[in-house]
Structure 1
Amino acid sequence: MARAIWTGAIAFGLVNIPVKLFPATETKDVSFTTLHAACKTPLRRPYICPKDNVPVEAKEMVKAYEYAKGQYVLVTDEDFNRIPLETSKAIEVAGFVDAEEIKPLFRERNYFLAPIELSVKPFELFRQALLRTDKIAVARAVLWKKEQLVAISPEDGGLTLTTLMYPDEVKAPPDVPATGPVTINDAEIDLAVQLIKTLSMEFDPGRYKDRYREALLDVIRAKVEGKEMPVVVAPEARPTQDLMAALRASLEAAKAG
């Protein structure tokens, strides 16, 4: 059975719904080990104290906050426990919004929420109320030593919790250098719209996989087995010269399936 990474309660008005939090995703990245080139031994990366020039073990490390240049104050687990926030063990619902109001830029990580045995009914009541109103809850919760802004959504018969970025954590779009006025004619717009409509579909995540990861693993397996490695020539990316011709060709290819 999956192990909960956090336990607490959803505070919905005066209704308290004890819940557990579980990861909803996991990374599938290919990991590598750094070796000493001479003897092929895996390297360890110790923390080095630049003052004493000695490696420092984990038991000798402490956390600190740099409040001025070169000035630190130590912070312990007890200090985190003294933070006077009511949300320390509760997911405190602040209100409800339409899902489209939360821009993708603000969404961070996803988790599953599950009730404990005694909270199944209020949990299901909350889920069905969200479905009926077509809303998601915006709430606050202290997770991993940080007060997180979160969204709670009904999903696949349960509830998901999505951590959100605070406004000061989301960067503004970079300034784009001016390139002069550009004229887009109606025919180009019409073709682009037709192409989008032709390629429109229902989103099915099962249709997609990490092709780069699979290709990388194929290369690694070939090296392990001593097979000859294929020579790949990367195509050169060139800007489209004839936009209308490219749009027409794309539309014909899309219609042909």
Structure 2
Amino acid sequence: MARALWSGAIAFGLVNIPVKLYGATESKDLSFTTLHASCMTALRRPYVCPKDNVPVDSKEMVKGYEYAKGQYVILTDKDFDAVPLEASKALEVQGFVESADISSILRERNYYLGPEEISLKPFELFRQALMRTGKVAIARAVLWKKEQLVSISPLNGGLVLTTLMYQDELKAPPEPPATQPVVISEAEIDLALQLIKTLTMEFDLSRFHDRYRDALMQLIQAKVEGKE
């Protein structure tokens, strides 16, 4: 049984649907430990002050926001606690939009939403309503002490919650080189369209693997077997 990361409720109007949040993905990147070559002991990297060139104990650390080059304002735990943040356990639906209206560049992380035992019917009703209308719910939620903008959409018989970026978190696209306007001929367009048509396929995610990670795991396994 998967462990829930968060529990709360989908709330809109007078509707309240108790739900739990589950991880939808996990990184398979390989992690390595830096060892002392002579004794194979894992090394710990302390925080070091580059000015004094000495290790700094956690009791001597503070959090600072750089508001100008080399200029910091210090924030304490009391400062963070004083910031007003409504500790709601609800996914507060603000409205419903077309899925196509949410640019892929806004999407951050995905999670599964699952119903509580008491909310099986309203959960399924909500899912089917989204399916029939083709809409996606936009909601506000406080997750891990941070207010998140999220979307809720139907997928594979369930619901997926996707955290979204805010408008001020988006960067402008790069400016094209200041050269003469690019002119594309119809023949070039036709050739590109033909190439796309030739390579059009059904998207089967199982066909794709991290080949570098697979090769690295083979190398690691060979070293382990050679050691035993």
* 2:37 aligned with 1:45: no
Is the CA contact (8 Å cut-off) linking 1:91 and 1:139 kept in structure 2? Answer: yes
Structure 2 distance, partners of 1:64, 1:88, is 26
Distance 1:17-1:210 versus aligned 2 partners, 3 A rule: same
Unmatched segments (≥5 aa) in structure 2: none
Aligned letter for 1:73?
Answer: L
Q: Which amino acid aligns with 2:8?
A: G
Contact 1:112–1:160 (8 Å) recurs in 2: yes
Q: How many residues align?
A: 222
Cα deviations across residues 158-200 of structure 1 (Å, max 9, x unaligned)?
Answer: 1010000011111111223234343322222111101111221
1:153 alignment counterpart: 153
TM-score under structure 2 normalisation? 0.86
Paired residue secondary structure (2:88): helix
Partners of 2:61 and 2:178 lie apart in 1 by 49
Distance 1:61 1:26 in 2: 35
Q: What residue is the counterpart of 1:207 in the other structure? A: 207
Task: Tell me which residue corresponds to 1:71.
Answer: 73
Q: Measure, in 1, the Cα distance between the counterparts of 2:39 and 2:177.
A: 50
Greater strand fraction, Structure 1 or Structure 2: 2
1:118 and 1:62, CA in 2 relative to 1: closer, same or farther beyond 3 A? farther
The residue type paired with residue 171 of structure 1 is K
Question: What SS does the aligned partner of 1:216 have?
Answer: helix
Give secondary structure in 2 for the equivalent of 1:70: strand
Residues 1:214 and 1:179: Cα distance change in structure 2 (over 3 Å):
farther
User: Structure 1 regions of 5+ residues with no counterpart?
Assistant: 227-257
* 1:42 counterpart letter in structure 2: A
**Equivalence map 1:37-186=2 (5 Å):** 37-48=37-48, 53-57=54-58, 60=59, 64-66=63-65, 69-76=71-78, 79=81, 83-85=84-86, 88-186=88-186
* Residues 63, 75 of structure 1: 8 Å contact kept: no
Distance 2:186 2:168 in 1: 39
* Code of the aligned partner of 2:84: I
Provide closer, same or farther for how the CA distance between residues 98 and 61 of structure 1 changes in structure 2, counting only shifts above 3 A. Answer: farther
Helix, strand or coil at the partner of 1:168: helix
2-structure distance, mates of 1:5, 1:159: 15
2-structure distance, mates of 1:63, 1:119? 44
C-alpha change, 1:179 and 1:37, in structure 2 (3 Å) is farther
Q: How far apart are 1:62 and its partner, in Å?
A: 7.1
Q: For 1:73 and 1:182, how far apart are their aligned partners in 2?
A: 51
Aligned to 1:250: none
Q: TM-score, normalised by structure 1?
A: 0.77
AA at the equivalent of 1:29: D
Percent identical pairs in the alignment equals: 63
Distance (whole Å) between structure 1 residues aligned to residue 205 and residue 19 of structure 2: 28
CA apart distance, 1:64: 3.7
Q: For the aligned residues, what is the CA RMSD?
A: 2.6
The change in CA–CA distance for 1:128 and 1:112 in structure 2 (over 3 A counts) is same
The alignment partner of 2:201 has SS state of coil
